[in-house]
Structure 1
Amino acid sequence: MTLKDTFKICVQSLTRNKMRSFLTSLGIIIGMASVIIMMAVGEGSQKEIEKQIETMGTNFLQIMPQHTKGPDATLNPALLTKTDLQKIKDEAVYVTEVSGVVQGSFTVRADSNSGAASVYGVEENYGFIKNREIGYGSFFDKEDCDAFRCVAVIGTDTANFLFGSAENAPGKTFQLGSNIFTVKGVLKPLGTSGGRSQDELIWIPLSTFQARISNAELSNISVSVRSKELLAKAEKDITAILREAHGLTEKQKDNFSIMNSADILAMASSTAKTLTTLLAAIAAVSLVVGGIGIMNIMLVSVTERIREIGILMSIGAAKGDVLSQFLSEAAVLSFAGGIAGIIFSLLACFMLGKNGVAVSINPFVIFIAALISVLEGIFFGFYPAWKASSLRPIEALRFE
């Protein structure tokens, strides 16, 4: 049989029972759509996380206390002090800006609105270090910090919650503990990272936090390095400064940790990539189920068409013709399901994007998905096709 004849018979066989063909393809449609959607959401989330981390800048270091076990834990407790902060400011060679950070969760009130908020005590250069820009108003300055003033810079979500809008927030006041703070500025929105909003925050001067809210030790020290090429040197330099400040001997481990923006980006990317792979692997299970469905229906089709197969062989059709006939039916069935699944996934991704979900469709993934749909049909359709081609013409003609 020619390729044209094979395709013609294939289409006739599949359209003979449209509902059965559709239900058989449904497993492939669902599986293909699931894989593409999961991959798109996973890659979209990964790019969104990378984008948000990059907004911090590529020359950022964060120093945090790190608890140790054994005798070192008592002799050298994990603490970052004002002395450490000042020592880094005075002695670190490769840094441009340094800010101590204290944080805590407190209840804030403005008029009839109240709720818990993450409050950070930071210095006047913290916005520069974190690469955050002011949307409305201005950042508090060194004079505000030196005078222990009750001023604040807040995120857009906090501004909307407390005052109804970010635009009108500068100049308004809210209560934090027993103190009344005045909003000096509102940060430009950053969005959500790792399922957590980056705009639900309040920044107040570090000096004010420790004098009026809580005299807590530093949660971390944030550092801006001259350039990303100097990150490694800056990290090594600050490690030496802090080990000396903490009186650590050569045998003692660091009771602090330093994370740079490159490490944070690599960690977030690796986590997102792993999650994407896991989601795609789970979704791929439905593709296997769909392939088994095709095999099952093709076996039923072979049983129903035994006399037809016998007639084809008796008029000269070779085993290869019968094999290619049933293989083409399985491949077309699977490919049609794959194309329908791709179309459905594109529509679903479009709707998800409209609703604020980060999605990223890779054309290469679409191409591979279409190829897999054909290969899956051939793989799962081979046994039924082989079974059909192995029938003996005389026995097939006698079959009732």
Structure 2
Amino acid sequence: MKLVVQVKLLPTPSQASALALTLHACNEAASWVAESAFDRKVFRNFDLRKHTYCEVKARWGLGAQAAQHVIKKVADAYATLISNTRAGNLGLPGSAHRRRATERPLAFRAEAAQPYDDRMLSWQTESRTVSIWTTGGRLKGVSYTGSAVQLETIAAYRRGESDLIHRDGSWYLSATCEVPEAAPNADPTDFLGVDLGIVNIATTSDGEIMAGRQLNRLRKRERYLRSKLRRKGTKAARRRIRRRRRKEARRTRDINHKIAKHIVAEAERTGRGIGLENLTGIRVRARLRKPQRATLHSWAFAQLGEFIAYKARRAGVPVVYVDPAYTSRTCSQCRHMDKANRVSQALFACRSCGFVDHADRNGSRNIRARAQMVWRRGAPSPAPAIERWPDAGSAPQPVMRRNASLAP
């Protein structure tokens, strides 16, 4: 399986200057290629090379490999944009969001990430240095650092491209690693049901509750501070908004990693599989009052599900996705389903048998039962479609403006 491992570069001031000039040149060239593609209505990688390859090399002084990666980055960005438009992710035809996206070509930020292949970037894992191509020549002996696990993973499993990233004054390399998966457990003894929520981030069928009160309080405080900064409207205020948003995303990502690691470790220790809810489309289905919408749309359930899934694959733990419908209203003891069973957010009381329990714990046990049923039937359990909402710590996206002029 593929994992992306990020390490921090430690360049000298002269090396950092060379990296910055390279990044700016590559993204300036990418913006020109995107404009040319928009004008010519040519978006495929091979066709774009015919029209732009020589110009990119001559005007910005990029090497052959760098020029090809710039063009490929533009083609991939347009492919993603057109796919999102066809899927309706940019709104309905004629909507303001969609019109804004289709009226101008793509534009890349000056410090957007740039991909490097093994011809442009070589790793010396023993000395923890890299040799990297720049427009001013090749830089050798650029140091990097990271955690022990990150360094070991890169040394043993790094394959393919790496991305050069400049964020908040620091330099990073995101390396693609081919990590082997453990042999899957084909005969789990049971399933660990996991109920995902906003008040309680995750609740397992063992009765363990991972509360989200602290995270929700921090999010509420961050929203209040960002609203104050937006009203201020200065350039410094906008810069602080971006920094605080990234800080909140990193915090959320860290919490989700810890929860996912704990759940997978418990399932692996007891020889069980994991049952998860397929929550695809929940933001579209949910109808909430305006004060509740920000809370729903900052809920990083898709990210937590992804973390659980990939950690489970590494550990050989099977993951089954089930339909979440009425799991919060159904009694886990007698299977009686009634809206009145859910007395409050935290309390479940069955109107038929009188069973009383924490509502999320009851829901997780229903998820466990459904996962067992799906596994016994051998029915396919595809992973849910990934929903991309307020990011939880990923690398900055290269595209600043988006366009899909060829989308139907």
Please give the range of the TM-score, normalised by the shorter of the 2 chains. Answer: under 0.3
TM-score by length of 1: 0.21
TM-score by length of 2: 0.21
Higher gyration radius (CA): 1
Higher RCO, Cα 8 Å, sep 6+: 1
Which structure: greater helix fraction?
A: 1
